Each structure stands twice: as C-alpha cells, then as structure tokens.
Structure 1
Amino acid sequence: MDMFQMISEDRIKKAYEDGEFENLPGYGKPMKLEDLLHIPEELRMAYKLLKNSGYSEEESRIRQEMMTIEDLIKKCDDSTERAGLQKKLNEKLLRFNQLMSKRRKTTNSSLFKNYEMKIQTKLK
C-alpha cells in the first residue's frame, strides 16, 4: 500500500467515525443500477460519462438534422424552398435549445446560428 492510499484510507475512516456519511442523499436507500447490457462493454464507460453529463440521444439526432438542413440551405437555389428549410432549421434549433436549457447550461447557439446564416447570405 502506497502513502497516498494510506492517507486516503485514514481520512475516510475519520470521516466515517465523525458521522460525515450519515446525511448523504440516498443514504439507506437501494442504489439504482442501470441495465447496460445493450451497450458494448468497450463503450459503457463513454456512455456513462455522456449520460452523467446530461448528453442525450435526442440531442445528437437533432444536431445531425440541423447540420443536414444547413447543408441543404447552402446548396438551395430556390428562395421558397430555402425559406421552408430555414423554418425547419429554426424549429430544430428551438427544440435543441430547450434540451440544452434542461441541462441548465447556458447556450447562445441560436444567436450564433442566425448570425452565421446572415453572414452566409451576405457572402453570396
């Protein structure tokens, strides 16, 4: 046992003796274990990290859809079709921002996306 491990063990024992572990959230309740059998073993740690940080599959899907719509807008020549695509992009952006606000992270992505669209329009 190395020195750091011994120090850690001593501090944990002292905290336990002082009762510092008694009022923790979930104390005395069974742990909620997740079923990760559907995730390959080599990806489970990455999945847990993403999930614990608030990342969701819906967020990933919406990001992908937004990028696809942005590419379509860049290549679109018809102004009516472009307006429809822009409307779809705005709807996806609104949903994305709702997801991000649920994670309690401030994001100005809609501001930057609209700014990017204005720059692209001026460059054409």
Structure 2
Amino acid sequence: MLFLDSLVERQLQDAQQQGKFDNLPGAGKPLQLDDDSQVPEDLRMSYRILKMSGFLPETLQLRQEALTLQTLLVNATNAEERSTFHTHLAVIKLKISQAGLSTQFLEDDMYGEDVKGKLLGKNKS
C-alpha cells in the first residue's frame, strides 16, 4: 500500500506544479466541511463522493420529497389537489417510518403552517 500511496502523492504533486488545480471551483476559498460524525468512518468518503455528484441517500431524498409535498399540500387551491398531495405524502411518510426515521419534522412544519394560516385568516382545512 505504501507504494500506491507514494505513486498517487507524486502524481498529485506533478499535477499541482503543472497548474491543473488552479481553475477549480472554490479555489482560494476555505473548505466547507460537513459534519459527518454520524456516518461510519468507512462510508464517509463514499457519501462525500455521492453528495458532490448530486446524489442523496434514499432517506434524505424521501425527506426532501415529503417537504415538497407538504408545501404543495399547504398551497393547494382545490380539494382534488389536496387529496392527491395528501395521499402521496402519506406514502412518503410510511416509507420514512419503514426506514426507521422519524416524521416529526413534518408535523412541526404543518403545525407552524396551521398557526400561520389561522393568524392570517386563511383556513385550508
């Protein structure tokens, strides 16, 4: 393994001397390191690569989808739209629960939207 490490290090140094890293996005700016302390050490690099490539773990995609559906549900203008969004949201909540995660973040958001709606005199029930 030592040989491979030194080979890679040498190639990186050569590339740096040739200026191949000079025009990279974010050059000269501080690194923004994510808190990945909850990710097992052997999976961190894989998660970073996936994240930089624009991919999210399925559970995070489900959370994002649920939040989008919830926003659509709150802003729906007719009963048919609300029913469709509500059904899709229920399915996503079930998938999140089956993955062993909490859906509390959705209830907290909905409570805030309900209070905001009542204060503004909007009742979308």
Q: Which one has a bigger Cα radius of gyration? A: 1
TM over 0.5, shorter chain: no
TM-score of the pair, normalised by structure 2: 0.43
TM-score of the pair, normalised by structure 1: 0.43
